Amino acid sequence: MSSAVADLPRGGPALTALLLAVDARGLGGAMLDHPLHEQARSFSLLVQRALPDGAPLRRVPSSVTPDRLYGGVDLAATLSTGTLVAERGVLAAADGGVIVVPMAERLSVAARTALCEVLDYAEVQVARDGIGEHHAARICAIVMDESIDDESVHDALRDRLAFVVRMRGSASEALLDDTDELAVASWERQARDARHRVMSVSVDDSWIAALCETADAFGIDSVRAPLMALRCARAHAALHGRLMITEADAEVAAALVLAPRATRLPPPPEEPANDNEQPGEPPPSSPPEPPSAKDGESADAPEPPTPPDQQPPDADSDESEQNDDAPSPPSSSTDVLREAVTSALPPGMLAQLLEKVSGGSMQGRVGAEKQNMLRGRPRGSRSGLPRGGARLHLLETLRAAAPWQRARLKQAAAAALLSATPTTKARPRVNIRREDFRIRRYIEKTGTTVLFVVDASGSSALNRLAEAKGAVEMLLAESYARRDRVSLIAFRGKDTELLLPPTRALARAKKVLAALPGGGGTPLAHAIEAALEQALGAKRAGSAPLVVMLTDGRANIARDGTPGRPGAERDALAASARFAQQHIPALFVDTSARGEPVARRVADAMRARYVLLPAANAKALGGLVRTAMQMAEGSDRA
């Protein structure tokens, strides 16, 4: 390897930046995971410097509007000249360069859609307000994930970015501390040469199949992932002066592109079975062989089933050396890439993947977004009059009126000439009409109300109530940093009691939970109706409800208070059907020892997620509730 190539970075953010500079259009960009300001600045500048000379660098705030991204009417020029003047947006102005988006998790739906569209088609189409233009927008997007708990960069945007760069540890520090301008200049030259070489890099079909198999093994459903991994391998080969993808290029592509997208662990490889041998029965020809051979040879043989009078050890070693020099078949290529992906997983990722597979906790909150005209996060404007407290959006109003000023002024002048009574009143410089008014839109995020409905009947009440207490206290501790509320409903005997109304007060919750009694029958139908009533009340109050039932499902008290299992089960199923009609997300935790069939029937009738948890604890229940919040989010938005 030449010295010009030997100084290339072997990994980390620096290598990712150079790969982006080689094939920015094909790789899309990178997402920086919680970077510091200087780290993000150094990474963006390195990408810009490695791009062709004059590549622009634009920083876009997360509150950017679609008009600013796409372009539209130049308001000042249009009002001053009286003619429609178009203005290029940020995406078109960044053609051939880099766009940096801090706090990308807070991008509006319209801004996120515009960015994804440009990453797909590399052009901007403007067709509004009398403007019809097309502009090239070949950009490299660098977005920053600075989310806290409940926010995350949208999956549609993440899917279009090849890399996820975790700006922590020695790799990011090396990027910041590297002040050798000669080395950086050498990287830039090699990136420029690689851009001319990347389209000439060829790839063997075995590596294409291996990348696809590796993506499937790690649960990566996106079609873009193996395509981007292939482009990354070609860029890495071109950067190192190669015209053919090698194993090293494929390993780097798998580690940088596929590893951050892994959602599960691959299944262990199956051991090949011999169909001719019966389980537990040795082959008939193998026992007579060892006695005929020397005792020393049979004892030292590394593989007892292999006859000793086969090839000598030297022949075996020569054959293995020849196999090492031969090209790897697709199966071995897949194994190599699986090892590369597994080794590239960050610390703790394996445990998180195991949690996802087993249905463990997931981050996120149930609170959905709803429109509000008075308060919340600004989300553009809409046509309307400033009534009932709605606020006028002055700039958008002027922008809507600007294209029509010339026509309206001519119309006003013609009307003045035709008027019988001359007027000396000066004509307004800006003619605004009713249809031009725009009012501000706000998005307010609703809170969450988790309703714990706990079976306090019978001998199992002590264990179940202790677990519910721990789960409620854990969620209340988290609700101080969020807007979630927790409520507790207990049912026993012939009635249901609201022990804890929706609250965030930890001291009050602990006091009520400590005095929670137990014993009596199981009025399951009454409990489901009480949960439905409380959930509808929380929904009317603007909160997103989530019902968590903890019971063994052995209903023995009917809705009218009479004992008997057949009638109690019928009433429970009827109440569950009414609950399902309201489309309220629910989690049904079966606390029986081995699972009750009636509990599953009730959960299915409620359209709730059924979980058998006989050995539940507070931590497990807290994780299940956080998982179920994802269900509530989708249901509330629908």
Number of domains forming the structure of the chain = 4
Do 438 and 471 share a domain, yes or no?
no
Do 542 and 569 share a domain, yes or no?
yes
| Mean pLDDT in residue range 243-270 | 84
| Mean pLDDT in residue range 395-422 | 77
Do 101 and 121 share a domain, yes or no?
yes
Q: State phi, psi for 380 to the nearest 5 degrees.
A: 75, -150
The rounded distance, in Å, linking the Cα atoms of 602 and 409 is 70
Give the percent of the chain with pLDDT over 70. 69
The amino acid that residue 559 corresponds to is: R
Cα-based angle 391, 396, 400 (whole degrees, multiple of 5): 125
With a CB cutoff of 8 Å and minimum separation 6, the contacts of 191 are: 18, 21, 22, 50, 51, 239
Residue 217 · residue 333 · CB < 8 Å:
no
The rounded distance, in Å, linking the Cα atoms of 532 and 451 is 10
Q: State phi, psi for 359 to the nearest 5 degrees.
A: 80, 30
Do 253 and 161 share a domain, yes or no?
no
Q: Is 146 helix (H, G, I), strand (E, B) or coil?
A: coil
Residue 72 · residue 380 · CB < 8 Å:
no
Q: State phi, psi for 391 to the nearest 5 degrees.
A: -100, 135
Q: Establish how many alpha carbons lie within 13 A of residue 380's alpha carbon, considering only the half-sphere containing its beta carbon.
A: 14
Flag whether 151 is in a domain. yes
Cα-based angle 456, 459, 465 (whole degrees, multiple of 5): 40
Give the DSSP H or E segment for 533: helix 524-540
The amino acid that residue 5 corresponds to is: V
Do 438 and 455 share a domain, yes or no?
no
The rounded distance, in Å, linking the Cα atoms of 77 and 378 is 26
Do 594 and 624 share a domain, yes or no?
yes
Of 169, 186, 209, the domain-final residue: 169
Highest mean pLDDT among 284-293, 362-371, 492-501: 492-501
CB count within 10 Å of CB 291 equals 8
The whole-number pLDDT of residue 532 equals 92
Flag whether 456 is in a domain. yes
In the sheet that 448-455 helps form, which strands lie side by side, from edge to edge? Answer: 495-503, 484-492, 448-455, 544-551, 586-590, 609-612
Do 150 and 230 share a domain, yes or no?
no
* Residue carrying structure tokens 């053609």: 95
- CATH number at 132 reads 3.40.50.300
The rounded distance, in Å, linking the Cα atoms of 151 and 145 is 9
> Which tokens belong to 432?
């605004």
Highest mean pLDDT among 243-247, 469-473, 501-505: 243-247
The rounded distance, in Å, linking the Cα atoms of 11 and 397 is 51
Q: Are strands 98-101 and 57-59 parallel, antiparallel or unpaired?
A: parallel
Tens-digit pLDDT profile for residues 67-82: 889 887 777 777 777 7
Highest mean pLDDT among 113-127, 513-527, 533-547, 607-621: 113-127
Flag whether 317 is in a domain. no
The whole-number pLDDT of residue 562 equals 85
pLDDT band at 291; cut points 50, 70, 90: very low
- CATH number at 464 reads 3.40.50.410
Residue 54 confidence (pLDDT) above 70: yes
Of 343, 372, 401, the domain-final residue: 343
> Which tokens belong to 555?
């209903």
Domain that holds residue 563: 447-635
Residue 167 · residue 33 · CB < 8 Å:
yes
Residue 138 confidence (pLDDT) above 60: yes
The rounded distance, in Å, linking the Cα atoms of 55 and 141 is 13
Q: State phi, psi for 105 to the nearest 5 degrees.
A: -65, -15
Q: Which of 593, 596, 598, 587 is nearest to 621 (CA)?
A: 587
Flag whether 159 is in a domain. yes
pLDDT band at 91; cut points 50, 70, 90: very high
Flag whether 224 is in a domain. yes
Do 473 and 435 share a domain, yes or no?
no
Flag whether 348 is in a domain. no
Do 438 and 451 share a domain, yes or no?
no
Flag whether 411 is in a domain. yes
Do 134 and 248 share a domain, yes or no?
no
